[in-house]
Amino acid sequence: MGKFFTGRAFDHAAAYRTEDYLAAALWLPPGISPDEEALGELMSTAVDPALQEEVFAVLEQVGAGHPEVPHWYLPVIGVDPTRQGQGYGSALLDHSLQAVDSAHDTAYLESTNPRNVSLYERFGFQVVGTIQTGSSPTITRMLRAPR
């Protein structure tokens, strides 16, 4: 799934990691989207048929929730669980947002973890809405204005 959702970050030199490989952030620059067709095909075969309607409804909301202006999209940022809370996420955001800021572009993300919302807010992201369907967890949509 990751290949279809974030693989294009590598194609556009928008994949960042720490030197020790304990954390990574995969961005999609303006105009670049996940491979939605391949992702949909994978979900059709990998997701329990009883949950497919709910999963596709969430994915539809994710796609529809993106800002209409050109923007950098952060679909994935992750830190080794044994190193969370040690500044890895902040360091990656600080470094990767330099590219966004140098282009004076908007940045957008969806947070699946409520604990991370305050981290993103420290970097200038603002909550612009939520996504939730059926039994899915709440996903927080966040936008950062150009700088």
| Long-range pairs of 129-138 with CB within 8 A, sequence gap ≥ 24 | 129/65, 131/58, 131/61, 131/62, 131/65, 132/58, 133/54, 133/57, 133/58, 133/61, 134/54, 134/57, 135/54, 136/54, 136/55, 136/58, 137/112, 138/114
Q: How many CA atoms lie within 13 A of 141 on its CB side?
A: 14
Amino acid 38: pLDDT = 66
Kindly report whether the global pTM for this prediction surpasses the value 0.75: yes
Low-confidence ranges of the chain (pLDDT < 70): 1-7, 35-40, 42
CATH of the domain at 82: 3.40.630.30
Give the residue numbers spanning the domain of 114.
2-144
Q: Could you give the percent of the chain with pLDDT greater than 70?
A: 90
* Number of domains forming the structure of the chain: 1
Longest dimension (CA), the chain: 45
At residue 135, the pLDDT reads: 85
